[in-house]
Amino acid sequence: MLKMTLACCKLYISESRNKAALESIERAAKLFHEARLINKFEDETYNRVGYTLVSKLPPKLPSGFSPLKDAPFAMVESAYKAIDFNVHSGSHPRLGVVDHICLHPLANATLEQTANIARSLARDIGTKLEVPIFLYGAAHEKGRTLDSIRRELGYFMPNTRGNIWAGGPNSENLPICPDEGPSQVDPSKGVIVIGSTRWVDNYNVPIFSTNISAVRRIAKVIGERGGGLPSVQAMALAHGDGTIEVACNLLDPSKVGGDKVQVEVERLAREEGMVAGKGYFTDLTQEEIIETFLDNEDSSVDHYSNDL
């Protein structure tokens, strides 16, 4: 029986084509051996990379200390030195160079523990790196949801023609007040959304079509907000020539997993006269992440470094 306490931090950066920038971010993370990089997922079309870090949590964390705060902070700081949001473009929505950070409790950890780390990380980034931070989930005093804060910040609307998000914010003024950091945006950095929730799976299903309107209808019907599958959030994103993905957040994968999403997207695509391909997860499962961490706990060469 697993007795140690484990937690996870997922960190999404708006860059995948600048390899030198990614290498500097990864070097910064590896300075903190207690927080291990378990997985890296790159998508050049979206121009986005997701990192998964895992660490043990001691029974009582000293004030202001956690490997899952210090390692992500170093990665964020490195990202701002290496990436200019003004020259970024991709077909995935984003709010900043570092777009999204989320902490999840794993084995024996509590949501309160990860929420405390998230708030502490947000304070440090907001104050020391002077970036507006918006909190959500257990890290926010009222439990604000990720999709609601993104809607308020215009996350789901492309800021150029077509389906591409390009450059920094059009205005330095924010429509709502951030929870941490300055009230104005540095266009070279953007803003960050930081939260803490129970485990979330990300599952994308490709549809071989250029009809973005039809795939948006499918995404709307799939998601809970449109009366579809409970605990599922979905959006349609262009993904290269001739392919549009239904990108889904599975907020309770034990109840609605990728298999159910796959069947439903295939059915709806057929009704629209289109063909859906096999979907994929953008990260390991919760169980695989724990297993990978434990398998490599005593190893000097971890799973992640073998992938580089």
* C-alpha to C-alpha distances, 74 to 16, 24, 30, nearest whole angstrom: 18, 10, 10
Instruction: Give pLDDT, residue 298.
Output: 58
pLDDT for the residue numbered 304: 36
Q: Could you report the per-residue pLDDT of 175-186, keeping only the tens digit for each?
A: 999 999 999 999
Mean pLDDT confidence for 7-29: 97
The catalytic residues are 92
More confident call, 3 vs 167: 167
C-alpha span between 303 and 258 (Å, rounded): 24
Dihedral of CA 259/261/267/269: which sign? negative
Task: Give the number of other Cβ atoms within 10 Å of residue 228's Cβ.
Answer: 19
In this prediction, what percent of the chain has a pLDDT beyond 90? 85
pTM: 0.92
The predicted structure's pLDDT at residue 307: 35
* DSSP H or E stretch at residue 15: none
Q: How confident is the prediction for the chain on average, in pLDDT?
A: 92
Average pLDDT over residues 275-291: 96
- 207's enclosing H/E stretch is strand 201-207
Q: Is the pLDDT of residue 132 over 90?
A: yes
Q: Is 101 exposed, middle or buried (0-12, 13-18, 19+ CB in 10 A)?
A: buried
For residue 146, give the 3-state DSSP assignment.
helix
Q: Which residues of 270-298 are buried (b: 16+ CB within 10 A; e: fewer)?
A: eebebebbebebbbbebeebbebbeebee
* Angstrom distance (rounded) from CA 193 to CA 249: 16
Q: Stretch 282-291: mean pLDDT, rounded?
A: 95
Look at 254 and 162; give whichever has higher pLDDT: 254
pLDDT of residue 2: 63
Task: State yes or no: pLDDT of 302 exceeds 50.
Answer: no
| CA–CA separation, 60 and 49 (whole Å) | 32
pLDDT of residue 64: 54
- Residue 171 scores a pLDDT above 50: yes
Is the pLDDT at 247 greater than 70? The verdict is: yes
Q: Are 198 and 103 in contact (CB under 8 A)?
A: no
For the chain, which domains are there?
6-198+284-307 (3.30.990.10), 201-277 (3.30.70.670)
- Strands (E) across 24-164 are located at 35-43, 48-56, 89-90, 98-105, 133-137
Structure confidence at residue 212 as a pLDDT band (50, 70, 90): very high
pLDDT of residue 306: 32
Residue pLDDT, tens place only, 57-113: 876 655 556 899 999 999 999 999 999 999 999 999 999 999 999 999 999 999 999
Percent of the chain with pLDDT over 70: 94
Sheet of 244-250: strand order equals 232-238, 244-250, 201-207, 280-281
Distances (CA, A) of 215 to 164, 212, 241: 16, 5, 15
The runs of H, that is alpha helices, within 59-159 are 67-82, 111-128, 146-152
Please report where in the chains the tokens 């998230």 appear, as a residue: 118
